[in-house]
Amino acid sequence: MTGTHRTQVAIIGAGPAGLLLSHLLHLRGVESVVLEVRPRAAVKSTVRAGVLEQATVDLLNACGLGERMSREGQVHHGINLRFAGQTHRIDFERLTGGRAITIYAQHEVLRDLIHAAESAGREIIFEAQNVRLHDIDTSHPRVTFTRRGETEELHCDLIAGCDGFHGVCRPSIPAGVIECFQCQLQIGWLGMLVEAPPSSNELIYARHERGFALVSTRTPQIQRLYLQCDPHDDIASWPDERIWSELDARLETREDWKLVEGAISQKSIVSMRSFVVEPMQYGKLYLSGDAAHIVPATGAKGLNLAVADVGVLAPALADFFETGNREALDRYSATCLPRVWRAQRFSAWMTSVLHRLPGMDEFKSRLQLAELEYVVHSQVGAASLAENYVGFPLPAAAQVAASAAAGEAGFCGAYSTYTYR
């Protein structure tokens, strides 16, 4: 064995949760090392969802990561629901007291985080293979991995499992210690990048008898479009001609609107699932992001839940190393889970009212339309959707931590001070 290292926190996974956690810990003077199985280029280029809640934007600004997001991100003050040939706008600004969402792709967030880490000299070990966790229920946890064919060992005080649903961290917890709640939906999304200017100034969520469709954007030159499909479909069964035909059908409207077409540069199919693990911690291991929970993409909550998790975990870890107080660490899971389940509820509701669900008959279809009619014609219904979509404030500990980090690092980003309820 070659290469023995020591750090305070070993972070497994260089996704949004892992990289943001490393950044927040750095601002509080806590050392960490990030291990990532993928190459740097793959992490920086993987295209994922990019809807940032108000609290996520506020936190990124507060800890000095918002400059490029503020310059290149697109602030949306509402979304559009389209069904029965009509479009209905949900006005976030009016319904939530001025809150909004920001469209800024996940891989752009990751680029900002990697740049911040490399500028500060923090260690991210890419292409770390055969990662294994050891002694996580003792006072001396460690992680082994191989790099360039050589085995290395990382000794640490605590481990953050931020390596996603298929990572090694959650399976390292002994059987019977945690409980997994899950639902595999029989719904897939065909996502594509289109080289064309936006078809809409704000997202369009379309419910149609043929299935769901979503019109989003990534940049002023790139659209991100989605179609509901069978999760087991072969991507080859979706040639460009079929895609445009389905989009035209599902986005039909009696209004003066037209989908802007362009070259499709990327296609992929993902299946929808719901998953939550309880508790999100065991011994010296703390799970964050997709390692602890998965939500259907309809509610745009995945990245935001990861940010919320580490917004709680980072100050808890920092307090532990500064004072020895474990109270916040011991409450980590209990603090995070109410928000997780609230996001699950909203994502399940959004999915149920917008998709053609397996076994749906005419009665259920009419109920679906009635639900949408209620939402768009009721102040209460519209406000509920808006409040959940823009997201709830972070727990108080995360707000205080972000404000403290901003002050200590000399950042001037404003951070909202409304309270978590």
Q: What is the pLDDT of residues 31-87, one digit of tens each?
A: 999 999 999 888 877 766 689 999 999 999 999 999 999 999 999 999 999 999 999
Separation in Å, CA 124 to CA 170, 201, 248, 404:
21, 37, 44, 25
| Range 381-415 burial, b when 16+ CB lie within 10 A, else e | bbbebbbbbbbbbbbebbbebbbbbbeeeebebeb
The overall average pLDDT reported for the chain is 92
Residues 6+ apart with CB under 8 A from 204: 79, 80, 82, 87, 213, 214, 215, 251
Q: Is the model's pLDDT at 218 over the cut of 90?
A: no
Q: Which residue has the higher pLDDT, 336 or 413?
A: 336
Whether the predicted pLDDT of 407 surpasses 60? no
Complete DSSP assignment for 6-35: E-SEEEE--SHHHHHHHHHHHHTT--EEEE
Per-residue pLDDT at 393 exceeds 70? yes
By mean pLDDT, which of 263-267, 348-352, 412-416 is the weakest? Answer: 412-416
Asked if residue 295 lies in contact with residue 306, where contact means CB atoms within 8 angstroms, the answer is no
Q: How confident is the model over 248-270, as pLDDT tens digits?
A: 999 999 999 999 999 999 999 99
Q: How far apart are alpha carbons 396 and 398 in whole angstroms?
A: 5
What's the pLDDT score for residue 44? 73
116-159: per-residue pLDDT in tens?
Answer: 999 999 989 999 999 999 999 999 999 999 999 899 999 999 99
253: left (phi over 0), alpha (psi -120 to 50) or beta: beta
DSSP 182-226: EEEEEEEEEEEEEES--S-SS-EEE--TT--EEEEEEETTEEEEE
Name the band, by pLDDT with cuts 50, 70 and 90, for residue 161: very high
8-state DSSP, 169: T
* Mean pLDDT of all residues in 229-249: 97
> What is the model's pLDDT at position 226?
97
**Helical segments of 251-361, H only:** 302-323, 327-330, 332-354
- C-alpha to C-alpha distance for 347 and 285, rounded to whole angstroms: 27
pLDDT tens string 51-63: 999 999 999 999 9
Q: Which fold is adopted by the domain 4-75+100-182+273-355+392-409?
A: FAD/NAD(P)-binding domain (3.50.50)
Indicate if the pLDDT at residue 202 is higher than 60.
yes
Position 9 scores a pLDDT of 98
| Cα 316 from Cα 158, distance rounded (Å) | 12
Q: Which of 199-208, 241-250, 403-412 has the lowest mean pLDDT?
A: 403-412
Is the pTM value of this prediction over 0.95? no
What secondary structure letter does DSSP report for 136? T
Per-residue pLDDT band at 405 (split at 50, 70, 90): low
pLDDT score at 28: 95
Q: Residue ranges per domain, the chain? A: 4-75+100-182+273-355+392-409
